[in-house]
Structure 1
Amino acid sequence: MSDKKNIDILISEVGPRDGLQSVNATMPTELKLKWLTALADSGLREIEVGSFVSPRLLPQMADAAELVAHLRKRPDVFVTALVPNLKGAEAAFNSGVQKITLPISVSEPHSLANIRKTHEQVYEEVRSIVSLRNERFPHVEIESGLSTVFGCTIQGEVREQDVIGMALRMVELGVDEVGLADTVGYANPAQVRRLFNRLRGEIGAKAGSAHFHNTRGQGLANVVAALEAGVTTIDASQGGLGGCPYAPGASGNIVTEDLVYLLESMGLRTGVDIDKLVAAREWLKQGLPGEPLYGFIPDAGVGKNFHYAGGAR
């Protein structure tokens, strides 16, 4: 997303995709639409609405095109989606999405488990997707979301030079930006700071978002490290929903509500109203009854001395 006027850090809400694909229940479309509206009303400016995948594999994502159409009515929201292959990319492009994220596993065993492709097959798929975009949908942005960057539950250690090598290959293939994801929650702040600094040094402005899981309780600490390395877009999921079904032991994403509080309390403008954001959880509770939702801020509140970085709302 190129427009970041009046904010310092862009929060990309990934709950409607990463969160909902990770639960067994399927949230009714009518409640998803109300949830998306509430998220947008809270001030979130980028929302990943779903994945363009086979509904047989992920029935939770079968209504992705309808969700894109709904949010595209909001000029204040940048609408994104995840796509694993060329077929999904074409469907996403035709739906009117503004950016797609390609899940690119640095760990080849994870790639085989997640999208059933070797690295060489992934490169061919990315080449085809970029070619399609350039020919027919030049206005759509393409992000390579590098996963298992800080370690993999299947492969184990993932070398930093392999991460940088994959990032360079993605840029060579024509993507617009490269983000880094801690798919299984192995990352620590020193590692995050070091790798994002290396990434910016290698690909400059094409270095994109940070995506952290809180599996081992270091999610927000890793956010601070990413900020210190110059990252200005952070993924998060309302209620901490999320996790990769093909990465054993990977629990939820960092909680959007807690992230907003962290950033605003540090004097960084997000454009998000915490009270409205917390209120949006009600649609999740209705759509996924009994599903655990996480976060400290929804329970504890923001406290009497809290002030928004951008001033009173």
Structure 2
Amino acid sequence: MKNDKSKAEMTTGCIRIDVGGKERLFDIDDPVLPDWVDKHKLTCGGYPYDEKMDKDEYEETVERLQIELVKLLAWMQATGERVMVVFEGRDAAGKGGTIDTLRQYMNRRTARNVALTKPTETERGQWYYQRYVAQFPTAGEFVTFDRSWYNRAGVEPVMGFCTPDQHARFLEETPQYEVAIVREGIRFFKFWLDLGQEMQLKRFHDRRHSPLTNWKFSDIDLAGLTKWAEYGTARDQMIETTHTDHAPWIVVRSNDKRRARIEVMRRILKSIPYARRDDAAIGKPDKKIVGMGLGFIRDN
């Protein structure tokens, strides 16, 4: 008889990891979150707040922004404008939840999310960017990418899924690739959701022990827990190389998902001159949470 346990249930998850220069033993299978994670989960990585955003304030703010997003999409339909938003970040940074909140009340026929699985045999034989280009927006479409071509700048080189030459070529070619996107007239956004290490451990732990979301925790996630520094090096190289005037990296500190989601929506809405835009409803950016490029990450 087949063993029906999920991969997460079969994981042996006791590992040694470096956290802030100190070696720690972390057992993902222990249902009790370690005190050293729980104590620092929100403030890790230099996060500027020691409490999450108030729930009532969050819900009121999000509703105002979602109303504006509905107006934005109606304007896009009337004008044929195209918007494309790429979300990148470490595992558990909140990409999927941010996209869900962003698109919650938008017409799903014209506000489309792209979350591609690993390439097929045919796709592996194509130009690297080809399968992503096939998902670009047509007139009136708002398209989000839950991970993107930037897999080749993060998980692929760190986990050995591409060669060093492929990685180097990607970093060299991507700025020109993105010039073509912008020149085509697509309104293009790149968000890096920046996450502290203890918060990542906490979110992984939550997934591992949830009967609803344990499928999200994979062997790759477990292996990645020991590669925090390597992922950080790859992130820095990626942002330094591909942060350009035409396609800048917008960095959002994401230990608190509520503040992160709000700042993503604000940045998009403030950047597009759609009809009947209500700037008072959108509000002003929290400069402690959102900034630009590698300098903002290094300020942590």
TM-score normalized by the length of structure 1: 0.30
TM-score normalized by the length of structure 2: 0.31
Higher RCO (C-alpha under 8 Å, 6+ residues apart): 2
Answer with 1 or 2: which has the greater Rg.
Answer: 2
Greater fraction helix: 2
